[in-house]
Amino acid sequence: MKSLGKLLIVCVVLFALLQVVRPGIPAGPATAELQAPAEVKQVFEKNCYSCHSNERRLAWFDEVVPAYWLVRRDILTARRHLNFSTLGSKPSAAQKATLYEAVNMIQLGAMPLPDFVKLHPEAKVTPEELATLKNYLAPWSSAPAPVSESAPTGAIARDHADEAAAPVSLAAVAPEFNGLAFDPTFESWKPISATDRGDNNTFRFILGNDIAVKAAQSGNISPWPDGARFAKIAWQQQADAVGLVHPGKFVQVELMVKDTQLYKDTEGWGWGRWRGMDLKPYGSGAGFVNECTGCHQPLRGNDYVYTLPITPASTTRDEAVNNLAAALPAAMPYQPLGWNVITMFVDQRNRSIAILYGNETAMQSGRVRGDAPTGKSAAPVYPVGAVLALVTWSERDDPHWFGARIPGAPQSVEFVKVSAGSMSQYQRFAGSGLAEQHLDASTETQRMSFVLGLAPVQLP
């Protein structure tokens, strides 16, 4: 008993001494606080400011070492990622992007941290509070910039810098700062999905190499197999004269490479991003990877992948694949979802998204990379035997990203088979069950001209 008493005294003394070892948590007034309506700031102040501001808001039990050490580490880490006391000093676009990411983290249940909410239940974001934030951000409330009236339908807008830039050699693109090499074969990969991003007015194609495509088609994505590679290619949005929104200026390409051993320290994935027509590596050092892993952390149950592949395969997880968008009848003359993509567009009035696919013969056209300046490019000239497929879906909200929409139920599929002379053929499948529809000759000619006149997306 005496030994136990002595041990207890030692523990009490040690505990008291540890309370002295408490490095500071800097605190102070806001220097450039987020400017937002009072009801929006109230939500952020209640649920986020404990960690994401310069204010010091610790409960009494947070002050006790060793819990204090953990709390301090979390606060300093949180402030580096998002600090509402200084957020107002960033450009408006950066502020908006930060807020969208924050709301998405809340929607996915990643923020506030679940362990934090257990001890601080008052920080739990209510559905009403989340709705307040979403209404404030209001994706798709700003229209994309219109394309020049002199440009053909779906053509690409370029700024003067892009027109003057020398063509980039994909084989000579520098690796990322973390050592990930650029993969110049990404343009030939097959489509996995596409997204319409209302949070930043961009379009994105998600392409996969053969390993990734086979995994998606079989449902072998939990986890994705080693060797799988994704390319997420982004363009600015441009509206045309009739209200359709097309891909405009090329923004960037991001790569994810699965190798559980080589990238064991970054969730089993290699991450890379190259921006602009000259494909410059993103960031200023290898630390950029922390942005990638932090953003993808809420999707760890889906092997850190945000994309819902368009596939008929089933999985055990909800909202891991997009079966609805893959529901094309087997009786169609072609199954275009496995072809390469040429371009896409959105009809915001009807809330629909369309992707133009081409068979191998169509992709042999020298014009499909879209490398001519706006207003100077004619419609692509496809060789005899080329088949184009314009697949249109209703749009649905992306369950993994607030502010994004993805393909939903198929609305129509239009095929154009290029033949010699004026003998090209047009077929349309639409309505319930995507049954074949026969249009009058004039309408078929108009639709055929529209499909053939869609300009390819711009690539480096």
Please give the domain boundaries of the chain with CATH numbers for all domains.
21-137 (no CATH), 157-302 (3.50.70.20), 324-453 (3.50.70)
Both structure tokens of 24? 């500071």
> What's this model's pTM, rounded to 2 decimal places?
0.87
Pairwise CA distance, residues 367 & 395, whole Å: 29
For residues 349 and 329, the answer to whether their CB atoms sit within 8 Å is: no
For residues 58 and 72, the answer to whether their CB atoms sit within 8 Å is: no
Task: Report pLDDT for 422.
Answer: 72
Residue 384 vs residues 21, 73, 215, 359: alpha-carbon distances, Å: 78, 64, 33, 12
Amino acid at 228: A
Strand partners, 258: 269
Pairwise CA distance, residues 213 & 191, whole Å: 8
Distance of CA 276 to the CA centre of its chain: 17
Q: Identify which of 228, 232, 407 has the alpha carbon closest to the alpha carbon of residue 323.
A: 407
SS (H, E, C) the chain: CHHHHHHHHHHHHHHHHHCCCCCCCCCCCCCCCCCCCHHHHHHHHHHCCCCCCCCCCCCHHHHCCCHHHHHHHHHHHHHHHCCCCCHHHCCHHHHHHHHHHHHHHHHCCCCCCHHHHHHCHHHCCCHHHHHHHHHHHCCCCCCCEECCCCCCCCCCCCCHHHHHCCCCCHHHCCCCCCCCCCCCCHHHCEEEEEEEECCCCEEEEEEECHHHHHHHHHCCCCCCCCCCEEEEEEEEEEECCCCEEEEEEEEEEEEEEECCCCCHHHCCEEEEEEECCCCEECCCCHHHHHHHHHHHHHHHHHCCCCCCCECCCCCCCCCCCECHHHCCCCCCCCCHHHCEEEEEEEECCCCEEEEEEECHHHHCCCCCCCCCCCCCCCCCCCCCCCEEEEEEEEEEECCCCCCEEEEEEEEEEEEEECCCCCCCEEEEEECHHHEEECCCHHHHHHHHHHHHHCCCCCCC
Strands 202-208 and 229-239, sheet pairing: antiparallel
Q: What is the pLDDT along the chain (460 residues), one digit of tens a residue?
A: 567 776 777 677 676 666 666 787 888 888 888 899 999 999 999 999 989 999 888 887 777 778 777 888 888 888 888 999 999 999 988 999 999 999 999 999 988 888 888 888 888 999 999 999 999 999 988 777 665 443 444 433 333 334 445 567 899 999 999 999 999 999 999 999 999 999 999 999 999 999 999 999 999 999 999 999 999 999 999 999 888 999 999 999 999 999 999 999 999 999 999 999 999 999 888 889 999 999 999 999 999 999 999 999 988 888 999 999 999 999 999 999 999 999 999 999 999 999 999 999 999 875 444 444 443 445 678 999 999 999 999 999 999 999 999 999 999 999 999 998 778 899 999 998 999 999 999 999 999 999 999 999 988 8
Find the length of the chain: 460
For residues 346 and 196, the answer to whether their CB atoms sit within 8 Å is: yes
Task: Report pLDDT for 372.
Answer: 43
Task: Report pLDDT for 368.
Answer: 44
Q: What is the residue whose two structure tokens read 């007034």?
A: 29
Strand partners, 236: 202
